[in-house]
Structure 1
Amino acid sequence: MDVALDKKLCGYKQIALEKLENILLTIFGRKDLVVEPDMIRILDSFANMTWLKSKGFDKIFKLSSSIPPKTKTLVFMIFANLLTFKHVIDQIQILKSSSQPPEIDAIKEFHIIVVPNLYYIFKHLLESEGLADIVSLHRFSWDFIKVDQNLMLLEIPKTFQQIFIQKDKSVLSSIANSLKVFNIVHKRPNLVLTCGENSEKVIEMVARMESFRKTQKNDNERTPDFNAMIVIDRDADYPSCLLTPVTYSGLMLELYDMKAGVLNIEGENKISSGKLEFLKDPPSKLDEQNDVKTLRMCGSSDEFYTLNKHNHFSDVVNIIKAESKNLEQEKRKYSRDMNLEQMKDFVEQNLPKVAAQKKVLYKHLIICEKIVQEMSLNFEKLQTVEEMIVRNENRKQIFAFFDECLSTNAHKFNILRLVALFHIFNGIGLSGDEINKIIGNYLNAFGHKYLYMFHNLHKAKLFPDILKPGPKNLLQIASNLTKKTSFMTDSLKLKLIPNTDNEIATNEKKKITKTCPSYVFNGNFIPLIAQLANLLIKAENFNEFVTKISGFDMKMQINGELKSLKDASENSKFFPLRPKTVFIFVIGGISYAEVAACKIIESLTGSTIVVASDEVTNGMNLIKSAM
Structure 2
Amino acid sequence: MDVVIEKKLSGYKQIALEKLDNILLTIFGRKDLIIEPEIIRILDSFANMAWLKSKGFDKIFKLSSTLPPKTKTLVYMIFANLVTFKHVLDQISLLKSSSLLENDGIKDFHIIVVPSLFFVFRNLVESEGFAGIVNLHSFSWDFLKIDRNLLILEFPSTFQQIYIQKDKSLLSSIAKSLRVFTMVHKRPNMILTCGQNSEKVVEMLMQLKKPTNNDNPDFNAMIVIDRNVDYPSCLLTPVTYSGLMLELFDMKAGILNIEGENKISNGKLDILKEESKQLENHEDIKTLRMCGTSDELYTANKYKHFAEVVNIIKAESKSLEQEKRKYSRDMNLDQMKNFVEQNLPRVAAQKKVLYKHLIICEKIVQEMSLNFEKLQNVEEMILRYENRKQIISFIDESMSTNAHNLNVLRVMALIHIFNGYSGDEIHRLVQNYLNAFGHKNIHIFHNLFKAKLFPNILKPSSTNLIKIASNLTKKTPFMTDAIKFKLIPIIENEILDKKKPTARKKCPSYVFNGNYIPYIAQVAQVLLQAQNFHDISPKLSTFDVKILCNDESNLKSLNDTQNVKLFPLKPKTMFIFVIGGITYAEVAACKIIESLTGATIVVASDEVTNGMNLIKSVS
Question: TM class by shorter-chain length?
Answer: over 0.9
Q: Say if 1:30 and 1:56, in contact at 8 Å, map to a contact too.
A: yes
In the aligned structure 1, how far is the partner of 2:521 from the partner of 2:497?
22
Q: Cα 1:100–1:420, aligned 2, differ >3 Å: closer, same or farther? A: same
| Map of 1:24 onto structure 2 | 24
The answer to whether the aligner puts 1:146 opposite 2:145 as a matched pair is yes
Q: Structure 1 residues 63 and 475, CA, compared in 2 at 3 Å: closer, same or farther?
A: closer
| Corresponding residue SS for 1:171 | helix
Aligned residues: percent identity?
Answer: 72
Distance 2:206 2:107 in 1: 37
Name the SS for the 2:34 alignment partner: strand
What does the per-residue CA deviation read over 1:535-568, in whole Å, with 9 as the maximum and x for residues that have no partner?
A: 1000011111112223321000141100001222
Aligned residues: 615
Residues of 2 paired with 1:93 and 1:491: CA distance?
55
Q: How does 1:120-131 map to 2 (within 5 A)?
A: 120-131=119-130
Q: Distance in 1 between matches of 2:465 and 2:524?
A: 42
Distance 1:398 1:471, change over 3 A: farther
Stretches of structure 1 that go unaligned for 5 or more consecutive residues are none
The counterpart of 1:509, out of the listed 500, 511, 515, is: 500
Partner of 1:221: 214
Match of residue 405 from structure 2: 412
Is the 2:72–2:107 contact (alpha carbons within 8 Å) kept by the matching residues of 1?
no
Greater Cα offset, 42-51 or 478-487: 478-487
Q: Following TM superposition, by how much is the alpha carbon of 1:290 offset from its aligned partner in structure 2, in angstroms? A: 8.1
Kindly tell me: are residues 410 and 499 of structure 1, through their superposed partners in 2, closer, same or farther at Cα, counting changes over 3 Å?
Answer: closer
| TM-score, with length taken from structure 2 | 0.96
The answer for the alignment partner of 1:54 in structure 2 is 54
Structure 1 residues 96, 473: closer, same or farther in 2, change over 3 A?
Answer: closer
Residue among 568, 571, 585 paired with 1:579: 571
Equivalent position to 2:357, from 352, 357, 364:
364
What SS does the aligned partner of 2:99 have? coil
Aligned to 1:601: 593
User: Aligned equivalents of 2:348 and 2:430: distance in 1?
Assistant: 52
Asked if 1:589 is matched to 2:588, the reply is no
Displacement of 1:293? 1.4
Q: Is the 8 A contact 1:191 1:557 kept in 2?
A: yes
Is contact 1:17–1:47 with CA below 8 Å preserved after alignment?
A: yes
**How large is the Cα RMSD of the aligned pairs?**
2.1
Which of residues 425, 437, 441 is equivalent to 1:446? Answer: 437
Letter of the structure 2 residue corresponding to residue 554 of structure 1: V
Match of 1:247 among 240, 245, 250: 240
Contact 2:421–2:468 at 8 Å: present in 1 too? Answer: no
Per-residue CA deviation, residues 262-296 of structure 1 (Å, 9 max, x unaligned), is 00112211111100101011224x65778721100
Shift of 1:390: 1.3
> What letter is aligned with 1:184?
M
Question: Contact (CA 8 Å) 2:496, 2:503: kept in 1 or not?
Answer: no
Which residue identity is paired with 1:455? H
Q: What secondary structure sits across from 1:586 in the alignment? A: strand
Q: Which residue of 1 aligns with 2:447?
A: 456
CA change 1:569–1:283 in 2 (3 A) is same
Measure how far apart 1:569 and its partner are.
1.9
Distance 1:131-1:418 versus aligned 2 partners, 3 A rule = same
Question: What CA distance in whole angstroms lies between the structure 2 residues aligned with 1:479 and 1:72?
Answer: 67
Q: Distance in 1 between matches of 2:444 and 2:605?
A: 25
The corresponding residue for 1:232 is 225
In structure 2, the partner of 1:114 is 113
Corresponding residue of 2:545: 554
Give the CA deviation at 1:477: 7.9
Matches of 1:465 and 1:477, distance apart in 2: 10
What is the one-letter code of the residue matched to 1:602? E
Q: 1:153 to 1:530 in 2, by over 3 A?
A: same
For the pair 1:377 / 2:370, whether they are aligned, the reply is yes
The equivalences for 1:434-583 within 5 A come to: 434-469=425-460, 480-499=471-490, 503-558=494-549, 559-570=552-563, 572-583=564-575
CA contact (8 A) 1:580 1:606 kept: yes
* TM-score with structure 1 setting the length: 0.95
Verify: 1:173 aligned to 2:172, yes or no.
yes
Question: For 1:216-295, what aligned pairs fall within 5 Å after superposition?
Answer: 219-284=212-277, 287=279, 292-295=285-288
| 8 Å CA contact retained: 1:312, 1:511 | yes
Task: Give yes or no for the alignment of 1:80 onto 2:80.
Answer: yes
Amino acid at match of 2:49: M
Q: For 1:191 and 1:335, how far apart are their aligned partners in 2? A: 63
Deviation sequence 1:314-336 (CA, Å, 0-9, x none): 11111111101101111111112
Contact persistence 1:423–1:462 (CA under 8 A): yes
Shift of 1:432: 1.8
